[in-house]
Amino acid sequence: MRRMAWTAVLAAGLGACATAPVAGVAPLAAIDVPQDADPYFVSGAARAAQAPSSERARNVILFVGDGMGVTTVTAARIFAGQSRGVDGESYQLTMDTFPHTALSRTYSHDMQISESASTATAMTTGVKTRGGGLGLTLGAQRGQCADTEANVARTLWEMAEAQGLATGIVSTARITHATPGATYAHVVNRDWENDAVLARGGGAPCVDIARQLIEWPAGDGFEIVLGGGRANFLPNTMTDPETASVRGQRADGRDLTAEWAQRPGHAFVWNAAQFAAAPADAKVLGLFSPSHMAYEADRANDSGGEPSLADMTAAAIRRLSQDQDGYVLMVEGGRVDHAHHEGRAGKALADAVALDDAVRTALEMTSRDDTLIIVTADHSHTLSISGYAARGTPILGLSTNGEEGGLARAADGLPYTTLGYANGPGAVAQHPRPDLSEADVDDFSFQQQALVPLQSETHGGEDVPIYAWGPGDENVAGTLEQNVIFHIMARALGLKPE
């Protein structure tokens, strides 16, 4: 594929693309896509072109359940049904109702079992890259600042801004974390979320991720950004407005939240009350926690009154829908992953269900005629559902003996939970194992037992699900390389490489 194929894409309007126009959607202009010769980009575009869509989307929403592999989805489905007092096994999550599904192959350029920066970059830019880098092609080595400029991979959000579309990102993680950062940042180390960390890592003269967000040069910038991570935007001389024991992390003395708010038509909010009172037409930066937002299981006890993921999704759609040309939005359930790393399956499932609630909100607020919604994960985890438990056994409980009844017992004579991990902090280092008969195994803070002892449970390398509904959803079928997701979204918006 030659560079001209993308830089001249649709310069003549929709006639260059074999898609049906959406009323009121302007023709697309030329776009500079520096990664268009990247081998992963070329093969991904070719794969997407094998099943060209007959429809065009005005809007695209990408939902990412961080770490939400197939086992997590299955367990979350059962958990959601049982929490509502109905049969969990036959319950349907909102994402289960989507008409098109596929599997996503999540390996990165250099990792068999990958991490969130490279996997998110695959979905936002159409390339597979090295682990730890954001918005870069495979030529960039982790931590090598000098590799940045020559290896930039333009994101779908940057392309959307170039076309005059509105853009937004929502996450329950720090907004500078790997998955949301992949929509706007180009950096060789995902950990460089603020300038102090970047300096300690030898990253000069590169620019930290928080500053890249505030100084994002694409179009007229994000219309809405909601998530956690205030500390990366505040100077280390400033006390956090909500938590007196926490200070900002920046060493350059800049208050990036004030810089955002000082721009005409912009607003910064840090709690639910300010969020609700923000002008409907303002470009909003909402950072609701110094670091990650609360787990869904803990959110009701959060003194700051953090909005739910569904609330933030609704606000983003309301704001973005004011742009008649359309929008591109990412919504991340970031804390599914964090709970798994802690070995706390209950919290992971609660956050997966919260993501599904946000998906339902999006379906209710948009039309399948003009909005493509994709729900997927960046990678999986080592969670397992095992044993022969009877139908209706609490998914967070002890396994049962199926038709025989009673608790199932392992070879050591002790019961075990239906959910467990292949590795992690719940590993049993003693013999015999602790007897879980009287343990509060359905508590959200309970750590499921694991096999291999690790301080932090790891990712899993199996394929993860993709669910799609809306214009172009028929292209989500079979087993896809993860970077093809970008190309499906781009084509749905009318960006068609030849």
3-class state of residue 482 by DSSP:
coil
Residues with catalytic roles:
116
User: Taking a C-beta distance cutoff of 8 angstroms, is the pair 397, 367 a contact?
Assistant: no
Show the DSSP H helices in 306-454 as ranges: 309-320, 335-341, 345-365
CA–CA dist 292, 374 (Å, integer)? 24
DSSP 382-397: SEEE-S-PPTT--TTS
Could you give the count of Cα atoms lying within 13 Å of 137 in the half-sphere of its Cβ? 17
User: Taking a C-beta distance cutoff of 8 angstroms, is the pair 65, 72 a contact?
Assistant: yes
Six-digit token string for 312: 């933030």
Angle, alpha carbons 486-492-498 (nearest 5°): 75
In 10 A of CB 306, how many CB atoms?
Answer: 24
User: Taking a C-beta distance cutoff of 8 angstroms, is the pair 383, 419 a contact?
Assistant: yes
Residue 135 backbone phi and psi in degrees, to 5: 65, 30
**Residue recorded with tokens 């994000």:** 222
CA–CA dist 93, 97 (Å, integer)? 7
Strand order in the sheet with 419-424: 383-385, 419-424, 450-453
The neighbouring-strand residues paired with 152 are: 136
Six-digit token string for 497: 């490489």
CA–CA dist 20, 23 (Å, integer)? 10
How deeply is 291 buried, as exposed, middle or buried, from its count of CB atoms within 10 A (0-12, 13-18, 19+)?
middle
Q: Which helix (H) or strand (E) segment is 299 a member of? A: helix 296-299
Cis before residue 241, ω within 30 degrees of 0? Answer: no
Query: Strands 419-424 and 383-385, how do they pair?
Result: antiparallel
CA–CA dist 438, 442 (Å, integer)? 11
**Residue recorded with tokens 């079992």:** 113
Taking alpha carbons only, the member of 101, 102, 108 closest to residue 125 is 108
